[in-house]
Amino acid sequence: MGSLQVFLDRFGPSSQAESGWLQNLFTFVHQHLSPCAGGPAHCAAVDQSAAGEPICGPAHSINQSASGASCDQGVCELSVCVVEKIQEQSCLSSSRPVSYRPLSVSELLSQQHLACVSNLSWSTNQHRAWAGEAELSLPGQRALPRVSLLLIGWLREGRGGEWRLADGSGSVRCELTCPSPLWMNRLVFLPHWNYIPHDASGRDQERGHLELIGSPELLRPRAEQGLAAGPGGAGLDGALSVREAAGVLRNRVRGQRVSVVGQVGSVRPLLEVAGSSFFFFCLVEDEQTVPVLVKDSNLWWSQCVCVGLRVCVTALRVCVLRGWRGNNVLCVTDRSQIHTGYTQHHTHTLKQTLEHTLSGTTHSQPHTHSEESEPPPPSPDDHLQMDQEEAEPEEDPVQSGVRIKRSRVISYQGTVTEVVSEGAGLYVLDRKVGLCLAYQPPGRRKLRPGDQVELHHVHFLYRPCPDLPPSMLCCCLGSSLRVTAFSRVGGASCDRSCPGDGVLPRLLLQNNRGVDQYLWTCHLASQLAHSLVPAGPHHPPLPQCVCLLSWKLSETLWTPRGPGPRDIYSEMLDQPHSCPLDQYQVDPCVPQLLSVSELLQSLSSLLPPGGSGLSRSQVNSALSWSCRTLTSDPGTGDGLRPRPLLLVGVLQLPSERSEFRQTLQLRDATAAVGCVATETREDGGQRAAFNTAWIGSLVCVRRFAMVTERFLQSEFPSCQHLDQDRFISHRSGRVYLQFSLDHLVILCPSVTMVTHLRMKGAEPGSDEEESSAMKKRRPDEAVSSSVTMTTLPEGGASLPCVTMVIKVESKGGVAWRNTGMGRDGEAGLELGFSATALLIGPVVSWGRDPRNEPMMEREAGPEREEKVLLVFSGVAARWFPVLQPSSVYRLTALNTQDPSVLIGSSVPGQRGAELHSDSSLQVRSDWRFHTLTRPLLLLHTWTQTPPPPVLTVSQVLDCRSEVVSFQGRISERVGLMARKGRAGHAHTGRHAHSGVRLTMCDQSGRSLCVYLDLSHAPYTPGLLPGNEVLLSRFLRKISRSGGVYCSLSPVSCVTVTSLGDSCRLAPPPPAPSMHLAQWASSRCVQAQVRGHLVCVLHLQLQWSCCRCGSVYTQVGDGRRDGRGSRLVVRATGPDCAGIG
């Protein structure tokens, strides 16, 4: 190691620590940077070595020995150069930085797993101040930790125009702010750099890269390149101005090569089309513009050219660009070179500067640009503080409230303060300006919080999406983005709003859409991620299906609108500029997605009705039940939010813990809510939901109403005490949704829904089905099943089973029934109901579950009137919402081949007695029901039994039956107070009142009172004025005064069949108008009676206290002083009189 001793002697006496540090540095240079090490170092050494004797012939050993000596000498000289550069950059003037150690590229990639920063010239105090400033500017972020590492290697060209730092062990990608072309293929020492070992989300460990936060130090001067003019005047002496080059483009000469000097006016992003990568930049001078096409081995220029720099490009040729109507552009050749960083206007001065730079006399900062070399950065205030007339164009006359705006092309410089969605290309600058990069190809380096960026020719949009910052900057193919300073903080936290693989930008590239639609889709994806994917510290990254669902839903909700296919060449080169971002739409009523938990939290308080004239009993009676209905669309009534709302979730059967056991549930990852759902019949009318294919389907509810009901048991003295809770003894409330299944969009159908849609003759795509763009399943769509992992299991398809086709004729209501000792020591009460069904055919065995496949001939037996009583209790009672009379179902018992499990048991009879009861069948918790709609049935099974008759209110009033089933509209609802000593049942959860009185009416205007006793039954949602309900098997009774009313029986059932507009209820049909004599002889309870007032027989006056509202009573001689009135009404028709 004579060369090592020579190297140590060059620095004189040293301490033991410094001597060891120098030896390690020399060893590192010998192993990774010397020509003997091979790899990139060897190639560079060969290029820089002087010409010598060839290594061949008889003198091979002599030449090999000479080569070894030359190698040792080169290592010694290179080591000395490295030490000198380190000492120049070190903050220690009297000693060497022994705490810093050299690190090879392979060691950096394999050992450094955390983001870090290294700056040789910093002191400890300087680093603390730097870190404090970084964390103060970005609250919640931590500054990069400092490491004491030295990096030395060659700057090389990588794939796709990237720069790489290479040594004998490997290479790593480098990011530079504005490098000099003269750094390429040079051996450099990096005194200031950041290292990010992975992408910002932390998912890809192979995307580590270096960020050069300062200029590298050149270690060896490169041999000067010839500056003479090449063939065709391609040198600096014959360089043309931009105006002259524009003339060359118009008069193309085959084989001509030119050099052009000019200022960079714009830089287009690097594209890859059909396997070929290229980018454009434009040279400008006054009003002249010359486009330059760069491709192949010169792609690394993309980081060297910056807007505002003056450059000289040599050996350019004129080529024809067939994809652009402008045709001729300047194109680089294999001999082309670029020279940047100069402000001289004459090529003679430029040539002198280049010769002086390439001479190698100075190396500390050989090509740092002076302040005059770049224009001052654009100010945000100059471009974003616009007049109201510019920010608010005129409305579009076609759509009310929707405006079509034109964007403005500006320049902007700011700091990235937030990463909204890396995968979607959304960021926030300076905490107030949004940035969208989706219309550009994704860059190699993702932006991080703290990056300082400079944007040129970027589109400014005002309020394109109400869910994002009002000021938005969007980059197209004509825009340029350059990072002027790298972030001082670590990588962003893992963003769950959108996958980082760019699903949405790829969909945007395949299906060009308006920027306003894209921004809304991105926000929708983040909302779906919150509502569908369970949150947790160890939850995996979001599947791509969340982005696919958001795109699919936006395609369904938005009218197709777009400028058509993008012309990339026109977008980059046309003057004046034209691109899809020129126009955008502003819609203040764009839908807003809420999770179920957010919906439940948005409840407004139910203010009770006031009125100083109400008595104490009237106030408490009115407060016993109060209701408020808010619609999802503010244009149709009292809205929940100023914008229309959307809900996305999975339709499920009610669970055992559900508050409403008679309705379906809409569940997402945050919460669940009960749903009163209806759907359209074949004849166009409405009916209660009956199709089990909806269970397990991921749907979007486009239109719904949220109902909030409150129950109070109070003793308010008057209306003036309503703000005092001490008068409330019990309070409870319930929240549920009302919607029609016609207003659902199927995002991910269940297996049975796919069969239903196929047999219905409709592919997914309409408001009820999937969009046409998603008919062809994508390979990455297979993961969409993870969204519905919490839905009702669809398993059992391969299990053996037995089935039986039935038609439900009637069903009873859900009630608490004694089934023996229950859980937790309760009295053994369970919710249950029963249904009577007609057997369509025999029990059939299957090798797999047929679900709702079309009915087979063997499932239909001969016409018979055999019926079965299905008994549901406990978990099996969850099927109540979808079992409706007159509907046909396939009852399935899984994992068995025994037909006897579906055969009901008969009641044993005694001798001489005739039995009239049907056989009963206890439904088990694991049995399933599948709806067989009309297209799935055999013809004779559909027509063999007519549906049971349903009466109207008028028919009930006129009939003589004791048990009736009728349908009508609720016009009034009154809560009935519980009597003292008779509180509601513990399982009902209500103590305020034990019943409800409904006033039913029909189209004729006649009305009927119905009394529901809810003391032993769960609360029934949907009993609201305006809704139509089906009351099955109710008792028809006659009051003492001769009026007709109905009451609940043990087998009665209440079903909501049609939803009214509860927010804008039309007044109930007016009571019939008749003469007094007609009313007295009729059975009508309510009527408008016409007559003449004859005389006043009794008059009563009462006074109410202005403070408490109570009725004032005057006590004189111990008797109450009251005043009353009696009226005599004489009819205008037949002779009759009435007393009121």
Pick from 227, 4, 189, 9: which is nearest to 87 by CA?
189
Per-residue confidence band for 603, with pLDDT thresholds at 50, 70 and 90:
low
Decide if pLDDT at 39 tops 70.
no
Segment 824-829 mean pLDDT: 59
| Token couple for 401 | 């409230």
Backbone angles phi, psi at 520, to 5 degrees: -65, -35
pLDDT at residue 340 in the model: 84
Per-residue confidence band for 804, with pLDDT thresholds at 50, 70 and 90:
very high
Fill in the amino acid letter for 878.
Answer: R
pLDDT at residue 602 in the model: 66
With H, G, I as helix, E, B as strand and everything else as coil, classify residue 900. Answer: helix
More confident residue, 534 or 237: 534
509 within 8 A of 425, measured Cβ to Cβ: no
Backbone angles phi, psi at 351, to 5 degrees: -65, -40
With H, G, I as helix, E, B as strand and everything else as coil, classify residue 707. Answer: strand
With H, G, I as helix, E, B as strand and everything else as coil, classify residue 633. Answer: coil
Rounded Cα gap, residues 447 and 807, in angstroms:
62
Segment 977-994 mean pLDDT: 49
pLDDT at residue 1131 in the model: 45
pLDDT at residue 194 in the model: 95
Segment 267-289 mean pLDDT: 92
* Range with the largest mean pLDDT of 307-321, 559-573, 716-730: 307-321
pLDDT at residue 185 in the model: 93
The secondary element (H helix, E strand) that includes residue 1076 is: helix 1076-1081
Q: Write the Ramachandran bin of 912: left for phi over 0, alpha for psi from -120 to 50, otherwise beta.
A: left
Per-residue pLDDT tens over the stretch 850-881? 999 999 989 887 766 788 999 999 899 999 99
Across 944-1052, the runs of DSSP E, i.e. the strands, are: 963-977, 993-1001, 1007-1013, 1028-1038, 1044-1047
pLDDT at residue 765 in the model: 41
Per-residue confidence band for 1136, with pLDDT thresholds at 50, 70 and 90:
very low
Segment 1116-1122 mean pLDDT: 42
219 within 8 A of 152, measured Cβ to Cβ: yes
Task: Indicate if the alpha-carbon torsion angle 906, 907, 910, 912 is positive or negative.
Answer: negative
Whether the upstream peptide bond of residue 576 has omega within 30° of 0, thus cis, is yes
Decide if pLDDT at 902 tops 80.
yes
More confident residue, 1098 or 244: 244
pLDDT at residue 1070 in the model: 61
Across 492-610, the runs of DSSP E, i.e. the strands, are: 583-586, 592-594
Task: Indicate if the alpha-carbon torsion angle 422, 425, 428, 432 is positive or negative.
Answer: negative
Per-residue pLDDT tens over the stretch 421-473? 988 999 999 999 999 999 999 888 889 999 999 999 999 999 999 999 999 99
Segment 987-1012 mean pLDDT: 77
Q: What is the mean pLDDT of the chain?
A: 78
| Token couple for 749 | 């159908």
DSSP 8-state symbol, 347: H
More confident residue, 491 or 429: 429
* Range with the largest mean pLDDT of 12-21, 55-64, 989-998: 12-21
Decide if pLDDT at 55 tops 60.
no
pLDDT at residue 444 in the model: 86
Strands 408-421 and 426-429, sheet pairing: antiparallel
Lowest-confidence region among 5-19, 201-215, 302-316, 346-360: 346-360
Lowest-confidence region among 403-407, 436-440, 527-531: 527-531
Contacts of 480 (CB under 8 A, 6+ apart): 266, 267, 268, 269, 307, 455, 456, 457
Per-residue pLDDT tens over the stretch 698-718? 999 999 999 988 887 778 887
Cα dihedral 539, 541, 545, 550 in deg (nearest 10): 100
Rounded Cα gap, residues 459 and 760, in angstroms:
47
Whole-model pTM: value is 0.81
Helices 545-557, 503-510: crossing angle, 10 deg rounding: 40
Per-residue confidence band for 207, with pLDDT thresholds at 50, 70 and 90:
low
Decide if pLDDT at 45 tops 50.
no
Q: Please identify which residue in the block is written with the tokens 């079509």.
A: 404
409 within 8 A of 462, measured Cβ to Cβ: no
% of the chain surpassing 90 pLDDT: 43
Distances from the Cα of 921 to the Cα of 836, 845, 858, angstroms: 10, 18, 22
Residues in the chain, overall count: 1140
Decide if pLDDT at 202 tops 60.
no
Rounded Cα gap, residues 693 and 890, in angstroms:
12
77-107 burial: b if 16+ Cβ within 10 Å, else e: bbbbbbbebbeebbeeeeebbbebebbbbee
* Range with the largest mean pLDDT of 362-371, 800-809, 826-835, 1091-1100: 800-809
Across 347-464, the runs of DSSP E, i.e. the strands, are: 403-406, 408-421, 426-429, 433-436, 452-462
Lowest-confidence region among 348-357, 486-495, 966-975: 348-357
464 within 8 A of 452, measured Cβ to Cβ: no
Segment 813-835 mean pLDDT: 74
